[in-house]
Amino acid sequence: MQLIDGKKIAAEIRGDLKQQIASLKERGVTPGLATILIGEDAASHVYVSNKIKACDELGIRSFHHALSATVTAEEIVHLIRNLNGDSQVHGILLQLPLPKSLIDATDRCINEIDPAKDVDGLHPQNIGRLCAAKNWSAIEQQNMLVSCTPLGVIYMLKKSGLPIAGKRVVIVGRSNLFGKPAALLFLANDATVTMAHSKTVDLPSVCREADILVAAIGKPRFITAAHIKPGAVVLDVGINRTPEGIKGDVDFDAVKAVAGWLTPVPGGVGATTITMLMHNTIAAARRLAQ
């Protein structure tokens, strides 16, 4: 089994991004990312501070807005509208999930973000564009804003020299954040895609058809050796906090004996997600500066 090293791939991509930022700065444009964090959720605070740190390291301007959990949906919308109109802000990231009291306002807030600044790729217009994309070249050339984690998965495969075209891909998990955009990206790369979920019958045999198996379930060590075709590429998206630390959705120790390629957790898919956020911020800046 060969390990797919997310940290190494992220570092390589960040090298490319630094060059893109330098050329934007030569044209008088400094990419800017606004982050909105609502409430006190500890994990969200860590995620957002890592995003701001990544901006600092690359030379992207960051504008942080921390709001109390007692804020109203109207106040969030007001802030988003101001950021939409701010020419120094090229990307707007609303950290999800929103606190419980605001959870029903999630779609309304996402829909308020200018699609040209929607660096999380969650606005319906951006999902629609991805759906309509003819192929991967169109996605890259048009600087489309696509959900960061699935975009990272595609770059991990490409940077590892692993072919996607013609492969049987099984994605376990059909969330809007990961599973659905991942399926569209694999389709744009000419894979034959199956989406599995909690109602899938005989999941192990469906998974065993996969040349590339992607697990985004949210259940620690759920995918076992019984789900793996020998030699398959296995990408573990899961981030699960357990008493033994952060664990993926794949039982790493069991699966490594069967898989050909495997991502670790931590240090795998998660390591590329923030880099893709930076990639999207630069793409948005490039498009808005045209």
Catalytic residue IDs: 51, 95, 120
Token pair of 106 as six digits? 């999630």
Q: Which of 137, 166, 197, 205 binds ligand NAP (CB under 6 A)?
A: 197
For the bound state, the minimum distance from the C-beta of residue 96 to ligand NAP, rounded and expressed in Å, comes to 9
Q: Is 177 in the site for ligand NAP (CB under 6 A)?
A: yes
Closest to ligand NAP by CB, 158 vs 286, is 158
Nearest 5°: the CA angle 184, 193, 159 is: 70
Q: Is 27 in the site for ligand NAP (CB under 6 A)?
A: no
Stretch that binds ligand NAP, among 26-34, 125-133, 161-169, 216-224 (CB under 6 A): 216-224
- Terminal-to-terminal C-alpha distance of the chain: 45
Site string for ligand NAP, 88-117 (x = CB under 6 A): ------------------------------
For the bound state, the minimum distance from the C-beta of residue 51 to ligand NAP, rounded and expressed in Å, comes to 11
- CA atoms of 3 and 259, how far apart (whole Å): 10
- CA atoms of 89 and 93, how far apart (whole Å): 11
CA neighbor of 182 nearest in space, from 118, 278, 172: 172
- CA atoms of 150 and 220, how far apart (whole Å): 19
Q: Is 240 in the site for ligand NAP (CB under 6 A)?
A: yes
- CA atoms of 280 and 107, how far apart (whole Å): 20
Identify residues 249-278 at the interface with ligand NAP (CB under 6 A).
269-270, 273
Torsion of Cα atoms, 75 then 178 then 235 then 221, to 10°: 80
Token pair of 159 as six digits? 């940077």
Identify residues 48-87 at the interface with ligand NAP (CB under 6 A).
none
Q: Which of 145, 156, 164, 216 binds ligand NAP (CB under 6 A)?
A: 216
CA atoms within 13 A on the CB side of 271: 20
Token pair of 239 as six digits? 């981030």
Query: Do the beta carbons of residue 223 and residue 255 sit within 8 Å?
Result: yes
Q: Which of 39, 173, 181, 264 binds ligand NAP (CB under 6 A)?
A: 173
Closest to ligand NAP by CB, 59 vs 266, is 266
Q: Which of 33, 34, 172, 277 binds ligand NAP (CB under 6 A)?
A: 172
Burial 214-242 (b: 16+ CB within 10 A, else e): bbbbeebbbbebebbbeebbbbbbbbbee
Stretch that binds ligand NAP, among 66-74, 92-100, 128-136, 168-176 (CB under 6 A): 168-176
Q: Which of 175, 192, 194, 224 binds ligand NAP (CB under 6 A)?
A: 175
The residues binding ligand NAP (CB under 6 A) are: 149, 172-175, 177-179, 196-200, 203, 216-219, 237-240, 269-270, 273
